[in-house]
Amino acid sequence: MSTTPPAAPAAPLSEADDRQYASFAHLGGIIGFLPALIIWLVFKDRGAFTNVEAKEALNFQITALIVYVVGSILSVILIGAFISLAMWIVSIIFSIQGFLKAKDGVSYRYPFAIRLIK
């Protein structure tokens, strides 16, 4: 019977890498919540800044997803299309703002988001 030693914990991120992954978590919001989720799951224990920023980006993207679902339901009465379009534009703007702040090492807090992941 062969026993393999447990895997060593991953090395902490350098400050530059920490800022890079944190900024990518925000920028990934342009295409949805998966980039922030993946970055948070993979790097949350390796970089404190990435942990905080990826959670913030993920919470905002989950909020955006909820707004898109509501917009889809309300598209029956036409207002939903405007809600979805407005959320798409806001999501792009806020994601870029978050990216620009995080790449400089400054924490970014979205103006509105349901904080589901703490």
pLDDT-derived band at 2 (thresholds 50, 70, 90) equals: low
Query: What rounded mean pLDDT belongs to the chain?
Result: 90
pLDDT of 1 > 80? The answer is no
Sorted by where each begins, the domain ranges of the chain are: 15-102
pLDDT computed for residue 78 by the predictor: 84
**Contact 53/107 with Cβ under 8 angstroms?**
yes
pLDDT of 104 > 90? The answer is yes
Task: Give one DSSP letter per residue of 28-93, joined into a string.
Answer: GGGT-SHHHHHHHHHHTTT-HHHHHHHHHHHHHHHHHHHHHHHHHHHGGGSHHHHHHHHHHHHHHH
